[in-house]
């Protein structure tokens, strides 16, 4: 994880690099640095802390003249966040400089070899090894040296490299870490992600694994690992630049929560056609849908929670067995897959290392694979047999909200598609459910418009140390997400429990005044969860319930009730999650925390 950016052209590079790094801070923000080349000398500036430290240190880039440069924003993997460990890294005389996103797995071995040959290292990073190895193999031809180093490195990388001997050139290469190249009349760019360069160009090239690019101010040359030149086609990015900005809200997270009605509608509406569901990019006909014997949903973090919900939806509606796995577990558990299994990888970024590895394993074991992905052209999107895009637009806040909501929609659509193909859902039932789906954007808007009610309640719990979330069935899946939202941004310890399981140990933690958030949206389970509320109430808990409008019985047992509009029980997650997102948000805001950049977390986790 980390973000890299580079520019070469007819403008001053440093301000462009700083600007691009600002858009990449979601990829890491414990230190930042840049190297700028004025044709004579490569100047390096780097500093621990947020980008503004580097900005102030270089007076907005003013102290670093030059029209070529590379920059980096870091999320530490090898070596703590520090000035020394910050990128760029270089060889001894700073004639070769490197920025890196990813992890070199065999760096210790490579470092030892270089040390035996007299090389000295100053940082604890794996990246410095790359710079020194380049030095070792460099004989005046950058391409040749980079290829040699690539053959020796194991792991993942996107690299930006400059050689003092080659003014007017930047080299970039990738393997298993994202990299885009942008092209404009004023110069050319590299970046880990499109928003970093969107202000300057919409013409981009997606670099594939083990491809290398040489950027000059007015030309781009692409090569494969055998040094053969490649012809690549640019892609035009249609995103609105403002979508990548905060749009007037204090935090991206609030902006993105507010965007949920639109994101949900954008993901849903284009697929509701001719009285049914049409998913153009599905790549499976009805017969193929019927042939699937088992589905595995594999993901990390919140995306995993959408899978927990989807299991109930797929099994309930399409009567097809579903297993839900954390990607980091799936890849090492030797899953039983074959041509009749479908592995669904759910990922906002499409770059999460464990999810990508799980996808590759599923393919290797002969399973059909499908990505549910938000970032077009991302690794998972490109490598899966087919991809169902969520149209949430760029998500900047580390804690996902709108991407999560669109993942749910994609999964509902897929479940309904399976159910229709397999004949487990009557036509009229399908029509009613599609109508329910169509209502969701408006219902989400309604819940968002009552945010002050949640804020008032949240303000009472700023000093809480532990908060529990309970629910059954889909309500349990919602609880998992509500609990994660709260803990990741407010730093309050929280756990989600299947309500019936609480009494097998965890109830011992319930004491006077402890907040328990109970989710009750499943009509068949209301009564059961009400009993569980009574259990925690009688041990002193304060209970906030999230339930469906009309279920007023809950008021007799809970201390505070939030109602969600009525919808089909399979879709309640899309509504109940809204007050829970708001709750986490307002607790964190009340505590004065930076909700967009919670400590120790990064938006895109491209390491194992």
Residues near ligand G6P (CB under 6 A) are 300-303, 347-349, 352, 355, 398-400, 601, 603-605
Return the half-sphere exposure (C-beta side, CA atoms, 13 A cut-off) of residue 36. Answer: 21
Q: Are strands 187-191 and 2-9 parallel, antiparallel or unpaired?
A: antiparallel
Strands across the sheet with 211-216, in order?
89-90, 96-104, 155-163, 170-175, 211-216, 219-223, 229-230
2 is catalytic: yes
Return the half-sphere exposure (C-beta side, CA atoms, 13 A cut-off) of residue 87. Answer: 37
Among residues 126 and 256, whose Cβ is nearest to ligand G6P? 256
CB of 208 to ligand G6P, least distance (A): 20
Among residues 161 and 196, whose Cβ is nearest to ligand G6P? 196
Q: Report phi then psi at 8, rounded to 5.
A: -145, 125
CB of 518 to ligand G6P, least distance (A): 24
Among residues 398 and 541, whose Cβ is nearest to ligand G6P? 398
CB of 378 to ligand G6P, least distance (A): 9
Count of Cβ atoms closer than 10 Å to residue 329 Cβ:
13
Count of Cβ atoms closer than 10 Å to residue 538 Cβ:
9
- Please give the residue whose beta carbon sits closest to ligand G6P in the complex: 301
CB of 304 to ligand G6P, least distance (A): 7
300 is catalytic: no
Q: Are strands 294-299 and 322-326 parallel, antiparallel or unpaired?
A: parallel
Checking phi first, is residue 28 left (phi over 0); if not, alpha (psi -120 to 50) or beta?
A: left
Among residues 575 and 605, whose Cβ is nearest to ligand G6P? 605
CB of 379 to ligand G6P, least distance (A): 11
- Cα–Cα distances (Å) from 184 to 122, 272, 316, 378, in that order, read 37, 38, 51, 22
DSSP 285: -
Catalytic, out of 2, 48, 214, 451: 2
Catalytic, out of 485, 487, 597, 603: 603
Among residues 6 and 371, whose Cβ is nearest to ligand G6P? 371
Q: What span, in angstroms and rounded, lies between the C-alpha atoms of 152 and 171?
A: 18
CB of 245 to ligand G6P, least distance (A): 20
Among residues 24 and 35, whose Cβ is nearest to ligand G6P? 24
Among residues 375 and 530, whose Cβ is nearest to ligand G6P? 375
CB of 265 to ligand G6P, least distance (A): 21
Strands across the sheet with 493-498, in order?
493-498, 466-471, 515-520, 542-548, 560-564
**Cis peptide before 209, with omega less than 30 degrees from 0?**
no
- How far from each other are the two terminal CA atoms of the chain, in whole angstroms? 10
**∠ CA 516-520-524, rounded to 5°:** 140
Tell me the catalytic residues: 2, 603
């Amino acid at each position: 994880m980390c973000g890299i950016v580079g520019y070469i052209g007819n403008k001053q590079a440093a301000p462009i690099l700083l600007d691009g790094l600002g858009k990449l801070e979601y990829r890491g923000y414990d230190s930042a640095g840049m190297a700028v080349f004025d044709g004579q000398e490569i100047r390096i500036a780097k500093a621990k802390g947020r980008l503004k430290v580097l900005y102030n240190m270089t007076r907005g880039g003013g102290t670093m003249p030059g029209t070529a440069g590379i920059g980096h924003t870091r999320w530490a993997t090898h070596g703590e966040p520090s000035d020394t460990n910050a990128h760029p890294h270089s060889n001894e005389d700073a004639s070769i400089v490197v920025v890196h996103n990813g992890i070199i797995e065999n760096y210790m071995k490579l470092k030892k070899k270089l040390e035996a040959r007299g090389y000295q290292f100053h940082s604890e990073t794996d990246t410095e090894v790359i710079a020194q190895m380049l030095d070792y193999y460099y004989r005046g031809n950058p391409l040749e040296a980079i290829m040699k180093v690539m053959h020796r490195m194991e792991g993942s990388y996107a690299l930006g490299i400059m050689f003092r001997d080659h003014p007017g050139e930047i080299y970039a290469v990738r393997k298993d870490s994202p990299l885009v190249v942008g092209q404009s009349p004023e110069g050319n760019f590299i970046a880990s992600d499109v928003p970093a360069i969107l202000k300057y160009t919409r013409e981009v090239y997606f670099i594939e694994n083990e491809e290398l690019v040489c950027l000059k101010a007015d030309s781009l040359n692409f090569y494969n690992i055998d040094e053969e030149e490649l012809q690549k086609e640019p892609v035009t990015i249609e995103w609105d630049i403002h979508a990548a900005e905060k749009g007037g809200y204090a935090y991206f997270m609030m902006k993105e929560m507010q965007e949920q009605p639109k994101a949900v509608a954008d993901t849903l509406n284009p697929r509701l056609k001719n009285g049914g569901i049409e998913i153009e990019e599905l790549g499976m006909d009805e017969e193929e849908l019927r042939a699937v014997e088992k589905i595995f949903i594999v993901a990390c973090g919140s995306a995993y929670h959408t899978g927990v919900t989807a299991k109930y939806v797929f099994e309930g509606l399409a009567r097809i067995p579903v297993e839900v796995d954390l990607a980091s577990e799936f890849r090492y558990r030797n899953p039983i897959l074959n041509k009749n299994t479908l592995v669904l990888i759910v990922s906002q970024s499409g770059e999460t290392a464990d999810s990508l590895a799980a996808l590759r394993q599923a393919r290797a074991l002969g399973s059909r694979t499908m990505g549910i992905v938000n970032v077009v052209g991302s690794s998972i999107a490109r490598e899966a047999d087919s991809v169902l895009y969520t149209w949430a637009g760029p998500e900047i806040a580390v804690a996902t909200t709108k991407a999560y909501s669109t993942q749910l929609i994609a999964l509902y659509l897929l479940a309904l598609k399976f159910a229709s193909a397999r004949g487990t859902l009557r036509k009229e039932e399908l029509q009613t459910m599609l109508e329910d789906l169509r209502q969701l954007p408006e219902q989400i808007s309604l819940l968002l418009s009552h945010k002050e009610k949640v804020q008032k309640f949240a303000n009472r719990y700023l000093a809480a140390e532990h908060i529990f979330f309970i629910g059954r069935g889909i309500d349990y899946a919602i609880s998992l997400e509500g609990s994660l939202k709260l803990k990741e941004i407010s730093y309050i310890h929280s756990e989600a429990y299947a309500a019936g399981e609480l009494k097998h140990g965890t109830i011992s933690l319930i004491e006077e005044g402890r907040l328990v958030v109970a989710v009750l949206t499943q009509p068949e389970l209301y009564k059961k969860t009400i009993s569980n509320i009574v259990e925690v109430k009688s041990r002193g808990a304060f209970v906030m319930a999230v339930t469906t409008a009309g279920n007023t019985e809950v008021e007799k047992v809970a201390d505070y009730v939030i109602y969600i509009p009525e919808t089909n029980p399979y879709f309640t997650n899309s509504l109940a999650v809204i007050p829970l997102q708001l709750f986490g948000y307002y607790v964190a805001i009340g505590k004065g925390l930076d909700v967009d950049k919670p400590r120790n977390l990064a938006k895109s986790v491209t390491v194992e």
